[in-house]
Amino acid sequence: MKAGPPDMLLEVSGLVSRYGRIEALKGIDLAVAEGELLALVGGNGAGKTTLLRAISGVQPAEGRVRFAGEDISAMPAARRVRAGIAQVPEGRQVWGPMPVEDNLALGGYTRSAAEVAEGIERAYAMFPILKEKRRQPAGTLSGGQQQMLAIARALMSKPRLLLLDEPSMGLAPLLVQEIFATVKRLKAAGTTIFLVEQNASAALAIADRGYVMETGRITMQDSGPALLADERVKAAYLGI
């Protein structure tokens, strides 16, 4: 255990983003420490997806984003991937008509051929079902398999920070468990993870720290277990 404040891998300050005249992010400040599993929970339309998109650079935003000590606010999306930020977008967004293996290979677009080959082997070891289906178009996979593919594809770029947007959305309970187990495994392997979830109880249960977001603002932050026990969080997001 390191003494003092941990090294912040990602620092976001005063982040504002708009869709037309509507402010989706109204000045977000947050930080993710190296090796941490951070959960961001909140209702529909709170701005969670917008925040992740702004961090990845695919959504215009004002304010400052620092990654690994470097200001990346003006950096285009492709370079942020090279810098070490990967995102598993909401709704999986696999390349449906392309074979599973091509999806993986393109996930490693920023990596050398050798690293891609190695990454694909790692992905198959992690999700054997993907190996079985490697020649099938990704669109023919089930929702859970597509989610595994989306996660494996993001890992292909060897990210230092993995942004996960609603990985459990639309999945059967058993698959949700499997996805969360995967997230835990990734954390155990040392990946820094920023997890956005509507399934607040599951997300907070595995998170080191959590943030609660409402209509474009961070309204609460605490350790995962503390938020899980908080009466307001329980009432608003856990349906207890």
Partner 1 sequence: MDEFLQFLFSGLTRGSIYALVGIGFAIIYNASHVINFAQGEFVMIGGMAAVFITANAGLPLIAAIPLALAIAGVAGVALERFAVAPARGASVVTLIIITIGASIFLRGVVEVAIGKRDYALPAFSGDTPIRIGGATLHPQSLWILGTLAVVVLALKWFFERTRPGKAMLATSHNRLAAQLAGIETRHVMLTAFALSAMLGALAGLLTAPITLTRFDIGIMLGLKGFCAAILGGLGSPYGAVAGGLALGLAEAMTGGYISSAYQDAVAFAIILAVLFVRPQGLFGRAGTERV
> Which stretches of the chain bind partner 1, using CB under 8 A?
56-58, 76-79, 81-82, 86-87, 89, 93-98, 102, 105-107, 109-110, 153-154, 156-157
The pair of three-digit structure tokens given for residue 16, joined into one six-digit string: 């504002």
Give all strands (DSSP E) within 57-102, no chain letters: 62-67, 70-71, 85-88
Distances in Å between the Cα of 130 and the Cα atoms of 35, 135, 180 are 27, 9, 18
Please report how close the Cβ of residue 29 comes to partner 1 at its closest, in angstroms: 24
CB contact at 8 A, 9 and 66: no
Say which residues have a Cβ less than 8 Å from residue 104's Cβ, sequence separation at least 6.
116, 119, 120, 123, 130, 149, 152, 153, 156
Question: Which is nearest to 182 in space by CA: 117, 238, 129, 103?
Answer: 129
How close are the terminal C-alpha atoms of the chain, in Å?
Answer: 35
Closer residue to partner 1 (CB): 58 or 169: 58
Please report how close the Cβ of residue 132 comes to partner 1 at its closest, in angstroms: 21
Please report how close the Cβ of residue 231 comes to partner 1 at its closest, in angstroms: 37
Please report how close the Cβ of residue 234 comes to partner 1 at its closest, in angstroms: 33
CB contact at 8 A, 46 and 214: yes
Q: Taking the C-alpha atoms of 134, 189, 185 and 237 in order, what is their torsion angle to the nearest 10 degrees? A: -120
Closer residue to partner 1 (CB): 20 or 239: 20
Closer residue to partner 1 (CB): 9 or 55: 55
Closer residue to partner 1 (CB): 33 or 116: 116
Closer residue to partner 1 (CB): 57 or 216: 57
Please report how close the Cβ of residue 173 comes to partner 1 at its closest, in angstroms: 27
